[in-house]
Amino acid sequence: MKKFTINTVVISFLLAGFQLDFQSSVNAAEAEGVLSNTPMPWAYAINTPDIDVPFAFNVPRTVPDSELEFVFTNPRNLYQPPDWHPQDHPLMPEIVASGREPAVFACAYCHLPNGQGRPENASIAGLPQAYIIQQMADWRAGLRRSSEPLHGPASAMQAIGFNATEDEVAIAAAYFSSLVPRKWIRVVETDTVPETVVAGWMYIEADGGSNEAIGNRILEMPEDLELTELRDDHSGFIAYVPVGSIARGEQLVRSGNDAVCTSCHGEDLRGLGPVPPLAGRSPSYIARALFDLQEGNRRGLWSPLMEDAVKDLSTSDMVAIAAYLSSLEP
Ligand code: HEC
Ligand code: HEC
């Protein structure tokens, strides 16, 4: 067994001007007791103060299907993510595996080495190369912002998009577009869900909680919290969605809207040319993307193509569309 230690300095979140903006808006919002700036707090999970995911430091850790063993002295070191399954993917370029201190966190920390991603970020495995390059250019130009200034991961991505050089973007885009996305999210229609809290920018089961009504939302949670916190890129997510939402989403995507989604995203919704795939991707991410496009906070070079598709969508339409799209095979 190979052994590694994930160690060193506590990273600074103060990257670019954007990041400073983010800090001050967080402080202002906290002072005012603002909990959410969007009608979809389930899509933009905001950390609960003082609650963190439990994590055992300084002891050897392993995950299934891996020969490796890591000792984490600081699991939040965003320049040194573990790579549990190096045989699964091509050799990671340096910018993906380790980033560039102090301006660009390692892509693989958040998106995972195989690009499958997590609810608070995005799956980027197999996205078209030209699409990735365009999104990074939109961040650099300040054209892609989150509708939720308190959503730390989106602010971090904004800073990364701002700071990454054209060469780094080209290298990372070539890497991630070469990966093949796998089924990663199990979508379950249900009336009730576990009571949750947000920690580590994710919904997790509340200690000693019971069940509650799902209401008009999606709850995307780790299948196995411990493995997710170890950043095991074989351990996926479960998405609880309202009963009937998958069929309603199919209707909206395939026939209900003026701008039929499949004409641009492909008949199988796995993307078409530079237009991104939607099948099997995180419902939290899809809902954020739709809302950010609708609100005009995401207004990149290609965003006008989505204008007709999003303009009349309600929150329940977004729930249904996200439920349907994430239930598909990627
Ligand atoms: C700190 C965590 C973090 C790191 C590190 C990170 N990202 Fe992201 N990334 C995000 C988040 C969060 C989103 C989704 C933003 C949103 O929901 O608005 C995202 C979204 C993206 C998207 C858009 C996906 C889409 O479908 O439009 C691309 C492309 C991307 N990241 C590329 C990269 C690259 C390349 C790197 C490394 C240079 C990187 N990211 C590093 C958090 C991160
Ligand atoms: C005219 C072509 C077109 C149509 C029709 C269209 N899309 Fe899109 N879609 C795009 C393009 C181009 C983008 C990338 C937008 C950008 O770069 O900001 C996109 C982005 C998206 C995204 C964000 C993906 C990501 O990775 O961030 C989602 C979600 C989405 N579309 C869903 C839909 C749905 C649902 C419909 C139908 C209701 C639809 N689209 C119809 C062209 C289209």
List, for residues 218-234, the tens digit of each pLDDT value.
999 999 999 999 999 99
Percent of the chain, pLDDT > 90?
82
Q: State the distance from the centre of ligand 1 to the C-alpha of 191, rounded, in angstroms.
A: 32
| pLDDT tens-place string over residues 176-197 | 999 999 999 999 999 999 999 9
Q: How far is Cα 311 from Cα 247, in angstroms, rounded to an integer?
A: 21
For the chain, give the percent of residues with pLDDT over 70: 88
The ligand placed nearest to the CA atom of residue 129 is 1
Kindly state if the Cβ of 274 falls inside 6 Å of ligand 2. no
pLDDT band at 320 (very low <50, low <70, confident <90, very high): very high
Average pLDDT, the chain: 90
How far is it, in rounded angstroms, from Cα 253 to Cα 200? 32
Rg of the chain in Å (alpha carbons):
19
- The pLDDT value recorded for residue 258 is 64
**Atom of ligand 2 lying closest to residue 274 CA:** 12
- Segment 85-118, tens digit of pLDDT: 999 999 999 999 999 999 999 999 999 999 999 9
Chain-centroid distance of CA 55 in Å reads 21
Top mutation candidate among 11, 95, 150, 160 for ligand 1, by most atoms within 8 Å of CB: 160
pLDDT at position 151 is 95
Is any atom of ligand 2 closer than 6 Å to the C-beta of 322?
no
From atom 14 of ligand 1, which residue's Cα is the shortest distance away? Answer: 121
Judge if the beta carbon of residue 154 lies within 6 A of ligand 2. Answer: no
27: Cβ contacts below 8 Å, ≥ 6 apart: none
HSE-up (13 A, CA, CB side) for residue 136: 23
Measure 152 CA to ligand 1 centroid, in angstroms: 12
**For range 278-293, the mean pLDDT:** 98
Note the pLDDT of residue 256: 66
- 312 has a pLDDT exceeding 80: yes
Q: Which residue has the higher pLDDT, 145 or 29?
A: 145
Rounded distance, CA 10 to CA 66, Å? 27
The pLDDT, as a whole number, for residue 255 is 86
Contacts of 50 (CB under 8 A, 6+ apart): none
> Cα of 91 to ligand 1 centre, how many Å?
20
The whole-angstrom distance between residue 72's C-alpha and the CA centroid of its chain comes to 23
Name residues contacting ligand 1 (CB within 6 A). Answer: 78, 95, 104-107, 109-111, 120-122, 124, 127, 132, 135, 146, 153-154, 156-157, 160, 164, 172, 276, 285, 288
pLDDT-based confidence at residue 51 (cuts at 50, 70, 90): confident
Give, for ligand 1, the residue of 94, 111, 175 to mutate: max count of ligand atoms closer than 8 Å to Cβ: 111
Amino acid 29: pLDDT: 46
Confidence band for 1, pLDDT divided at 50, 70 and 90:
low
Does residue 34 register a pLDDT over 90?
no
Q: Is the CB of 278 under 6 A from ligand 2?
A: yes
Place of tokens 């496009």: 293
Q: Please tell me the predicted confidence (pLDDT) of residue 198.
A: 94
Structure confidence at residue 23 (pLDDT): 44
List of residues 6+ apart from 176 with CB closer than 8 A: 96, 107, 111, 115, 124, 125, 126, 127, 132
Q: Could you report the per-residue pLDDT of 149-165, keeping only the tens digit for each?
A: 999 999 999 999 999 99
Q: Which two tokens mark 191? A: 């009336």
Distance, in Å, from the CA atom of 328 to the CA atom of 323, rounded to the nearest integer, reads 9
Q: Whose CA is nearest to atom 37 of ligand 2?
A: 261
Q: Which of the four pLDDT bands, split at 50, 70 and 90, describes residue 48?
A: confident
* Nearest ligand to the CA atom of 271: 2
Specify the residue with its C-alpha closest to ligand 1, atom 15.
154
Among the atoms of ligand 2, which is closest to the Cα of residue 131? 17
Q: With 80 as the cut, is the pLDDT of residue 292 above it?
A: yes
Q: What is the pLDDT of residues 16-28, one digit of tens each?
A: 333 334 444 444 4
> Ligand 1, closest atom to CA 292?
18
C-alpha dist (Å) from residue 45 to 83, 149, 241, 243, 299: 26, 11, 16, 22, 22
Q: Which amino acid is at 80?
A: Q
As a whole number, mean pLDDT of residues 301-323 equals: 97
Residue nearest ligand 1's atom 35 by CA? 172
Q: Which of 8-12, 61-65, 270-274 has the lowest mean pLDDT?
A: 8-12
Between 322 and 30, the more confident residue is 322
The verdict on the CB of residue 289 being under 6 Å from ligand 2 is: yes
Mean pLDDT of 252-257: 82
* pLDDT score at 252: 94
